[in-house]
Amino acid sequence: MWSSIWSQNVSPFLRRTSVAVFVTAMLAALVAIPIAAGVEPAAADAADDFTLAKTDDVDGEALIGEQVTYTLTASGTHPSGDYLYNLSFSDALPSGMSFVSANPAPTAVLNDIPGLGQTTLIWENVADLPAGSSASVSYTVTTDPDVVPGTLPVGSVATNTARAAASQDAFLIPDWDPADGTFIGDFDGDATASHNLNILAFRVTKAGPDELLRGVHANGFDSRSGTVGGRYTVTVENNPHYATNGVSLTDVLGPQFEFLGCSNYYSSSDDHSTNVPFRESAAAPDEEWAGSGPMATGAGSCTTPTSVDTVDAGLGGGLANTVVTWGLGNLAPGAVVTVEYQAGIPMRANTIDWSGRGTGAPSTASLEHGLNLDNNTGPSTNELDRTLSADPELLVDGAPNVPNTASASGTYTPSGLTSVDSDIHHTESEDIIITKSSTGTLTSAAVIPSTLTVSTSEYRDFSNLVVRDLLPGALCYLGGYNNDLSGGSDWATNDCPGAGSVASTLGGSAVPAHSVREIGSGGPYGTGRFEIVWDFSDPSNAALANLDSDSSITITYSAVVRRYHRGGFASLISEPVLAGDRVSNQAEVSGPDAVTDSHTNDGGADDEPNGGV
C-alpha cells in the first residue's frame, strides 16, 4: 500500500479574543494607578507563568550590516487560566546591534543599558493575555558593519534574552528597573526567550521541489509524456558592505538523485550512459529501460559547473553522492548569484561502481558523472509503503526524504579570513503524489472550489486507488455522495447553505463521492473534521481502478464556509468563523502499486521491484 499526503494551512491564526483584548487593555491603561514615590512595588511571585517565543525573519542567519526583524510572541499558557492583564515586554540588544523601528513603538529605549553599547527596549501594557490567546511586538535592528572590537564581526553569534510579564490585577502594570530594564514587580506571571543570530559574510539558500516523482526521461511508456525531474536553485547573497572574493559553490546530491544539469552544457541528446548496469537488451545498452531514449536535461542557459564528481556517501553498499562545483568568482557588496539546474530520481541509486562502463569513471572536468546511469547499480529508489500515524484518521507517507546540501566558501575581504555557509533542502522520492489547490476566502457563506490532482511516476502503475480529503470543521462539503457514515449528524442541514448543489467531478465527469463522514473531534483547536472519500470500488468512482505510470487524474469539488466551527457533531455557537482564522486540511491517496509494464519488468536483474498491498 502506497500513499501520498498533502496538507494546507490557510491564513494566519488570529483568535476572536483579539478585539476584546484590545478594548480591555485600553481601559486598563486609562485607569492604571502609578506607584507613588518611595512605595516598594509588589514582589513577583511568578506563580502564573506563560510562554514567550522570539523569532527572526532570516532563519537565524543575518548578513553583516543587514536589517533583521524580530518578533516577540507571548502565549496564554499560564496554569491558572485566569485573565492576565497589561502584558509588557523587554529586550536587551547586544553590543553591535542598533535599533531601527518597532510596531508598536516601544515605551522606552534605554541606551547603554544594561551595558556599554547595548540597547534595551521596553513595551508597557501592550495587551491583555487571556488563556489560549497570544500577543506580540515586532522590531527591526541592524548589525554594525564595522569589524572592530566591541561590534558583531562575521562569524560571531548575537545572543540575547527577551522577557515579558503580566499581572492578574487589571490595575497593575508590570514595573521595570531603569538601571537594567528587568521587570521587578507588579506582575504574577512572566516568561523569557533566548535567541541566537549568526552573523555571516554571505548567505546560501537552496530551493527545489519538496516532492519529486521518480523518472528522468522526457519519453514515457506508450507514448505518454515522461517524468523529467525538478528544477533546483541555489542562491548566494553577499553582504551589503564588503566584497567576498574567490567564492566556490558546491552542491551535494544524495544517492537517489541524478544530476541532469542544463541544456547549455548538456545536449538534449547527450546521455553520458554507455552501458547502463543490468540492461539485458543488447539493442539498447545505454537505456534505463528499452525504449526510454536519452535522459532529459534542464532547459535554459545556466551557470556551467567546473566539475561533477561521484563520491562515497558513507552509507554503506558503495552508495555515492553526486558533488557538483561552480566557481562564482568575486562577489561585490550586495551581489546576488543564483545557480539553477535540473535533477531527477532514476530507477536505481548511484554508487561508486563504474566497472560496467569499461573505461572506468569519467573525469570530473568532463561533467560526465552527471546525466549518466553507468554507475546506478544501487538499490531501487522506490517509495516505501505507507504506515499509520498516531492520529487514526491520518496516514504517514512512506516516501524517502533525501537531503541535498549546498555550501559555499570565499574570502571575506575586511578580515582576509575564509567564510562559509550552507543550506539543506529535503526532497521526498515519490511514485504517487497528490496535490491540492483551493481558491476563495474564509468568509461565512463563501464557496471554496478545490482541485485534487493525483500523479504517478515513470516506473509504476497503480490500481484500486482511494482518495480521502479531511476538511476542517469550518467548511461544509457541497457535493453529492453515495453513503453518509455520520450516524444521523445534521452536518448538511445545519449551517451548510447550498448543501448538495455543486457536483464533484472525477476525471472530468460529474460523479458523487463514495462516502462522507463527520468526525466529531481531532481537528485543529479541538473542532471537528469532515471526511470525503472517492473509492475505486464504487461504480461511480471506477476511474480510480487503474492509473498507469506517467499519468494523472483530477477530482474537483466545492465547500462552503460555515458561520460557526463544528465539533462534537454540533455547531459551536461560541466559536464563529472569523476573518483571520486558520484552518488545516489534509488530503491523501493510497492504493496497491504494481510493476506490470514490460518496460521496467522484463525478468532480468534490472527489474523494478514490485510494491506491496
DSSP state string for 92-146: EEPTTEEEEEEESPPSEEEET-SSTT-EEEEEEEEEEE-TT-EEEEEEEEEE---
pLDDT of 79: 77
Residue 265 falls within a domain, yes or no? Answer: yes
Q: Could you tell me if 464 and 525 lie in one domain?
A: yes
Residues 392 and 521 in one domain: no
CATH, residue 189:
2.60.40.680
Residue at a domain's end among 154, 178, 200: 200
Please indicate, yes or no, whether residues 311 and 437 belong to a single structural domain of this protein: no
Greater model confidence, 70 or 568: 70
Residues 193, 235, single domain; the answer is no
Q: What is the pLDDT of residue 174?
A: 97
Residue 238 scores a pLDDT above 60: yes
Read off the DSSP letter of residue 169.
S
Dihedral of the alpha carbons of 278, 279, 282, 288, in degrees to the nearest 10: -160
What's the pLDDT at 527?
A: 72
81: left (phi over 0), alpha (psi -120 to 50) or beta: left
Grid coordinates representing 46 are 511568578
Q: Does the residue 613 lie in any domain? A: no
User: Is there a single domain that holds both residue 367 and residue 512?
Assistant: no
542 by DSSP, 3-state: which? helix
Query: Range with the lowest mean pLDDT among 241-245, 250-254, 524-528, 575-579?
Result: 524-528
Which burial class, exposed, middle or buried, applies to 148 when counting CB atoms under 10 A from its CB (0-12, 13-18, 19+)? Answer: exposed
Structure confidence at residue 382 as a pLDDT band (50, 70, 90):
confident
- Which structural domain range is residue 43 located in? 32-200
Q: Domain holding 477: CATH number?
A: 2.60.40.10
The Cα 369–Cα 323 span in angstroms is 9
Angstrom distance (rounded) from CA 208 to CA 227:
16
The one-letter amino acid at 189: G
* Judgement on whether residues 254 and 132 belong to the same structural domain of the protein: no
pLDDT tier for residue 269 given thresholds of 50, 70 and 90: confident
pLDDT for 19 equals 25
Check residues 132 and 376 and name the one with the higher pLDDT: 376
Residue whose C-alpha cell reads 471554496 in the numeric block: 448
3-state secondary structure of 1: coil
- Provide the grid cell at 29: 491603561
More confident residue, 432 or 236: 236
Q: 20 in a domain, yes or no?
A: no
Q: Into how many domains does the chain fold?
A: 3
Instruction: Tell me which of 602 and 26 has the higher pLDDT.
Output: 602
Question: Residue 487: its pLDDT value, please?
Answer: 86
Residues 535 and 589: their CA atoms lie apart, in Å, by 10
- 70 and 141 together in one domain: yes
Task: Tell me the CA end-to-end span of the chain in Å, nearest whole number.
Answer: 4
Peptide bond into 539 cis (omega under 30): no
The answer to whether residue 601 sits within a structural domain is: no
377 and 243 assigned to the same domain: yes
Instruction: Indicate if 418 and 441 belong to the same structural domain.
Output: no
Domain end marker among 153, 180, 200: 200
Mean pLDDT on 461-465 = 90
Asked whether residue 19 is assigned to any structural domain, the reply reads no
* One domain, residues 274 and 358: yes
Kindly state the cell numbers that stand for 600.
521496467
pLDDT(501) > 60: yes
Helix (H) or strand (E) holding 25: helix 17-31
Residue 140, judged by CB atoms within 10 A of its CB (0-12, 13-18, 19+), counts as middle
H helices of 316-399, in order, are none
pLDDT of 395: 59
Between 7 and 489, whose confidence is greater? Answer: 489
% of the chain at pLDDT higher than 90 = 61
Q: Which residue has the higher pLDDT, 389 or 173?
A: 173
Residues 179 and 294 in one domain: no
Decide if 26 is inside a domain. Answer: no
Alpha-carbon gap, residue 20 to 494, rounded angstroms: 28
- pLDDT tens-digit profile of 14-73? 222 222 222 222 222 222 323 233 333 333 344 578 999 999 999 999 999 999 999 999
Residue 394 in this model has a pLDDT that exceeds 80: no
* Whether the predicted model's global pTM rises above the 0.85 cut: no
**pLDDT higher than threshold 80 for residue 352:** yes
Question: So what's the pLDDT on residue 259?
Answer: 97
Name the least confident of 168-172, 275-279, 453-457.
275-279
Is there a domain that residue 607 lies in? no
Instruction: Indicate whether 219 and 116 sit together in one domain.
Output: no
Q: Sign of the CA dihedral 337, 343, 349, 352?
A: negative
Query: Final residue of a domain: which of 147, 170, 200?
Result: 200
Q: Of 160-164, 217-221, 374-378, 542-546, which gets the smallest average pLDDT?
A: 217-221
Min mean pLDDT across 171-185, 281-295, 359-373, 590-604 is at 590-604
Q: Is residue 274 part of a domain?
A: yes
